[in-house]
Amino acid sequence: MDVFAVQDTIATEIVRALAIRVTQIEQRRVLEKPTENLEAYDYVLRARPALQRPTRANNAEARALLRRAVELDPKYAAAHSNLGAVLADQKKLDEAIAAFRKAIELDPKYAGAHHNLGTVLRHLRASGPRSRARIATETGLNKATVSSLVAELEERGLVRDGDIERGQVGRPGQTVEIDGRVCGLGVELGIDHISTHVLDLRGVTVATRRIPVGVQEFGPEQTLGRVAKLIDEITVETAGTGHDIVGVAVGVPGLVETAHGVLRVATNLGWRDINVVDRLMSLLHGPSYPILLDNDANLAAVAVLPYELSVPVPVGPERAREAEADRRLHAGVLLRSELPGLPAGVVVEREVGRRVVVGGPG
C-alpha cells in the first residue's frame, strides 16, 4: 500500500467535502511527497513526540531516529531540519547549522531550516550591536560560522557594520547592528478607525497614522479601499526616507482563516466571509510584499510578549517562581475590553521558546 497515495486521496476528499478554496500552489504542496522512502518518513514521525518534549533522554532518542532517517534518504529536507533542531537544543551548534544548511540546500522554502540566521538576528535585536567575536562567545557559535551568517544577513539587507566596539578585552572589533531600513507595516482595522504603524527590525517607529472611519457604515469595499490607499501612501512616504516595507500584517476584530486571508465573521464590523488579502492585493496592484491577515488580539499578544518578558522580576527568592509565572501570564494573555465580544489572544510559551497563539471571542 502506498501511504502517500492514501494521504493524497484523503486530503483531496476532505477539501472537496468542506468546499475549501485551495490555490494551485497549496494543492501542489499538499500532494508533494516529502520523501520516497517510507521507512525514513516513519523515523521522522516517530521522532516528533520526543521533539515536542525536549528532555535529555528525548533529545537523544530523537537524534538517533533522525540520523537513521537521513541515512535512509539523504535528500529528505525535513529530516535534516529536525535533526538540526535537536542538535541546537543539545548545544551542538556547528553540527546544527550544518544540518540546517543541508535542509535549505535541499528545499530553500523549508522555513524551519532558517533557524541559524534567526539566532544571530534575534541576538542582535535583544542585545544590541556586537562584534562578530562577541556574538560567537555569547551564542556559542564558532567565529567562522558567525562571520558566514553575518555575511548572509548583510547580503539580505538585514544587518550592517556599526561602530568600533571598545571596552572589551583584546583588539577592538567592528560591530554588527540591525539595519533599520527593513521595516514591517501593521494595520489595525477598528470599528471607527484605521491605524497604521511602521516599525524597523530594531523596534523603532518609522511612521504612524490613524484616520477616523465609520467601518460599519462604509462596508467592506469602501473600507478596504481606504486601507489600500493608506498603505500605498505610507509605503511611498517611508521609501522617501530610505526605508523598505517588506511585509504587511492586518489585524481585524473577528474570526479569521489566516491561511487564505479570509475574515469569516466580525460581529462588531458587520462583516462576513470577506477575502481581505485578495481584495487588498488587487487594490494595490499586486505589491511585491506579502500581506497577512490575523485576529487583532492574537497579533497584539505576540507583539507585547517580548517587552513584557524583558522586565526584571523585583522580588526575593521566595517569590521568584510565583512572580515569574504571573509575569509570563501577563505577557502571554492580552484582553481587549473596550467593547463586548472582542477576542482575547493567548500565547503559550513552551520550555524551549516555541509558542502557540490562539484567540477567540471574549
Pick from 161, 178, 195: which residue ends a domain?
178
Digit-by-digit pLDDT tens for the chain (362 residues) are: 566 666 667 766 665 655 444 444 455 555 566 788 989 999 999 998 887 787 889 889 999 999 999 999 999 998 998 898 888 777 787 788 788 888 888 887 776 667 667 888 888 888 889 898 888 888 877 777 788 788 888 888 889 998 887 666 666 778 999 988 999 999 999 989 999 999 998 888 999 999 999 888 899 999 999 999 999 999 999 999 999 999 999 999 999 988 889 999 999 899 999 999 999 999 999 998 999 999 988 888 777 665 544 444 444 444 444 444 444 433 334 333 333 344 444 444 433 333 434 444 33
Give the SS3 label for residue 224.
helix
Residues ≥6 apart with Cβ < 8 Å to 225: 283
Looking at the fold, whether 314 and 332 belong to one and the same domain comes out as: yes
CA count, 13 A, side-chain hemisphere, 240 = 7
Looking at the fold, whether 206 and 355 belong to one and the same domain comes out as: yes
Number of domains in the chain: 3
Whichever domain contains 362, its CATH number is: 3.30.420.40
Give dist(CA 262, CA 250) in Å, integer.
11
Looking at the fold, whether 224 and 317 belong to one and the same domain comes out as: yes
- Give me the residue label for grid cell 535583544: 126
Looking at the fold, whether 46 and 166 belong to one and the same domain comes out as: no
Looking at the fold, whether 167 and 279 belong to one and the same domain comes out as: no
Looking at the fold, whether 227 and 347 belong to one and the same domain comes out as: yes
Give the SS3 label for residue 230.
helix
Looking at the fold, whether 230 and 314 belong to one and the same domain comes out as: yes
Neighbouring-strand partners of residue 255: 265
Q: Which domain holds residue 153?
A: 121-178
